[in-house]
Amino acid sequence: MPTHPDAVDASSSGLDLLVAMADHAPADGPLTSSRLAALTGRDRGLVARVVDDLVELGLVERDLSDRSLHLGWGLYTAVAQVVERRIITRGQPLLDQLALACGESAYLVRRRGGQSVTLAEAMPHVSVRGVSWLGRSVPVTRGDAGPVLAMDLSSAELRDVLGPGPLPATSGARAPRTREAFEREIATARANGVCLLVEQTEAGVASVGAPVRDFRSRLAGAIVVVGPSDRVESKSAPIIAAVRAAASQLSTDLGWRT
Amino acid sequence: MTAYTNIGRRLELVAGLLDHEATTGRGMGVVSVAARVEREKSQISRGLAALANEGLVGRDSDSLEFSVGPALLVLAAQAGEPELVRSALPVLERLGAVTGERVDLAVLHDRQVLTIESIASSSTVQSVGWVGRRTPVHCTAAGRVLLAAMPTSEVSALVGPSPLPPSGPNGPRSRAELMRRIDTARRDGWALADGELDGDVMAIAAPIVGADGGAIAAVMVSGPTFRMRSTVDAVVLAVRRAANDLSARQDGV
C-alpha cells in the first residue's frame, strides 16, 4: 500500500524546519522551500506544503519580493507580548516563595529611564516589614537593585540615563555620591551577577538583587530581597542563593538561555 | 477550510497557544485548545504531548495548563531583525527621555503598521498592549513615512481604492488626499498625524533608511495633542535626529 507522504512525519512537530529557518543567515542567500528541504533532508513537496501552512498560521513569513522564508516580526512580537505578561504571572509566585524562604520583602523591579519601578512584590509574615512599593519609582541610583538594573548600560548610556549633576542623596551612610562610585557598584554587580547593598539605599536597610533576562538576552528587570541590614547581613549567603535561583528561574521562563 | 499537513496541524496548536498567551497572559487546558482548533480532545492530547517533547509547548505542573514552550522562545530570539531592535533601544530610550512621550519603533507588516518596540512615557509602568499593536497604514504617522519610501504603484496596491477605511476625525478619506499627504512626507522626510487615528492624539514619525534607500522601520513619538502642540518643532527635530542616527548605522552592518 502506498504511504501517504504525510505518514512519514506523523511523529514530528516540524521543529527542525523552524530551527533551520532561525539558523539561516541572510548572507547564504534567500531561503526557499526547496533549500529548506535540502537542509532538513525532507521531501520537497512536503516541505512546500508545510511551509504554506506555517505562513498561514503566522509562524513563518514569506518575503513579498523574493518569496524567501524567515521567522518574522509576527512571531517576534507575539513572544515579546508573552514575555511581558509572564514577567508578572510567573514572577509573582516566585516572589511569594522568596519572601517566605528569606523572611524578608521581595520585589520585582525594572529600570525605566533613570528610575527603578516596582512591578510586583511579596511581604513575609513578620512584624518588621517593608511597605508597598507597587507601581512606585525611585531614582535608579537609589534603587534596591540599582546597580543590577544598570549593568547593561555603557558609560555613555549611563550618563544619558542619570543626567548631569550629583546623584540624589539617600540616608544610607554608604550611598554612592558620584556617578563614578555608582559605576563601581555596577562593575561589582557585573562581576558577581548579583548585588548586595548595605546601608546604601537607606539607613538601616540592606538588599540583595539579581538580574532577570528574557529570550533576547535583554535585561527585563531584577528580583530583589530587602530588609533590615543586621538581619539581611546575618543570613546573606542563603538570601543571595535564593535570589539568584528565583531570578534564574524567571529568566528561564522568559526564554533566556545561558 | 484548509487541509493542513500533519505538521501544520501540530503547529496550529502552537500558534493557538501563542496567540492566547500573548493576548491574555494565560495558558490553556486541553479542552480549550481542542475547542479553539475544532478537533477531538484525544487527538489534541497526543499532539500536545509530542510538542511538549520537542519543547514547543510547556506545561504547568500545578494547573496542568499548556503554554508556549521554551523552544519557541529561543526561535523568536532569531525572528524579525534582532539587531535592529537591539541597536535602536538606547536611541529610542534617549528620545523618550528628551520628549517625555511614548516612543514606538514600527514596521510595515501584512499591510498594517506593526509596533515592534515601545518605550512608555513617564506615567505608565508596563508596555503590555503596545508591542504587537497593529494600526492602519493610511492614518498613522509611522504608516505615512513607510509609504513615502515606496514607489507610488506599490502604495496604490497596498492602500486600495477610495473611500479609505474609517479613521479618526482628521484621517484621509480618499486615496488622492492620502497621496498628497504622502508627497508632503516624502518631501519633508517626516510626517505628522494629528487626530488621524484617535481624536486627541498627535504623532510624529521619521523613517530609518537602509543601505538600499528603502525604509526599514519608522521611529514615532506620540502623545495627547494638548501636550504635543506646544512642543511640535522640538519633537520633530528629536525624532528626525534619532531616525537619522539609526539610518547611519544601517550602512556599516
The side-by-side arrangement of strands in the sheet containing A137-139 is A137-139, A115-122, A105-112, A219-228, A205-213, A195-198
- Is residue A131 classed as helix, strand or coil in its secondary structure? coil
Could you give the percent of chain B with pLDDT greater than 90?
A: 77
The pLDDT tens digits of the residues spanning B130-181 come to: 899 999 999 999 999 999 999 988 998 898 888 888 898 999 999 999 999 9
* C-beta of residue B156 within 8 angstroms of C-beta of residue B175: yes
Contact B147, B109 (CB under 8 A): no
- C-beta separation of B18 from A78 below 8 A: yes
With the C-alpha atoms ordered A73, A79, A81, A83, is the resulting torsion angle positive or negative? negative
- Those residues whose C-beta lies under 8 Å from the C-beta of residue B39, and which sit 6 or more positions away, are B9
On chain B, the residues whose CB falls within 8 A of the CB of A154 are: 90
Q: How far apart are CA A236 and CA A232, in angstroms?
A: 6
* The pLDDT value given to residue B129: 64
> B123: which 3 cell numbers?
506615567
pLDDT (tens digit per residue) in B213-234:
899 999 999 999 999 999 999 9
Burial tier of B243 (Cβ tally within 10 Å: 0-12, 13-18, 19+):
buried
φ and ψ of B218, to 5 deg: -125, 140
**How does the average pLDDT of chain A come out, rounded?**
90
Going by the DSSP 8-state scheme, the letter that residue A215 receives in this structure is T
| Dihedral over alpha carbons B99, B103, B106, B111 (to 10 degrees) | -90
Question: From start to end of A65-184, where are the E strands?
Answer: 69-70, 105-112, 115-122, 137-139
- pLDDT above 90 for A243: yes
Grid cell for residue A134: 507597587
Q: How far apart are CA A173 and CA A198, in angstroms?
A: 9
Q: What is the pLDDT of residues A81-94, one digit of tens each?
A: 999 999 999 999 99
Strand A69-70 with A61-62, pairing: antiparallel
Residue B107's φ and ψ, nearest 5 degrees, are -130, 165
How do residues B23-58 score in pLDDT, each as one tens digit? 999 999 999 999 999 999 988 999 999 999 999 999
pLDDT recorded at residue A33: 93
Mean pLDDT calculated for residue range A9-28: 83
Q: What percent of chain B has pLDDT over 70?
A: 95
Q: Are A227 and A235 in contact (CB under 8 A)?
A: no
Q: Which of residues 161-220 of A touch B (CB under 8 A)?
A: 161, 215-218
CB of B93 within 8 Å of a chain A CB? The answer is yes
Task: State whether A75 and B75 contact (CB < 8 Å).
Answer: yes
CB contact at 8 A, B67 and B217: no
Q: Report the candidate in A205, A67, A79 with the shortest Cα–Cα distance to residue A131.
A: A205
Q: Is B16 in contact with B35 (CB distance < 8 Å)? A: no
Q: What is the pLDDT of residue A175?
A: 84
- Which three cell numbers, joined as nine digits, stand for B157? 496596491
Which of these, B184, B185, B138, lies nearest to B160 by C-alpha position? B138
A234 Cα to chain B: minimum distance (Å): 34
Chain B stretch 2-41, residues whose beta carbon is closer than 8 A to a beta carbon of chain A: 2, 4-8, 10-12, 14-15, 18-19, 21-26
Contact B90 A57 (CB under 8 A): no
CA atoms of B87 and B93, how far apart (whole Å): 11
Note the pLDDT of residue B52: 93
Which residues on adjacent β-strands are paired with residue A207?
Answer: A197, A226
Q: Which residue has the cell 493610511?
A: B138
Would you say B7 and A10 are in contact if contact means Cβ atoms under 8 Å apart?
no
The dihedrals phi and psi of A231, each to the nearest 5 degrees, come to: -70, -45
C-alpha span between B227 and A129 (Å, rounded):
41
A47-71 confidence digits (pLDDT tens): 999 999 999 999 999 987 888 999 9
Test B125 with A112 for CB contact under 8 angstroms.
yes
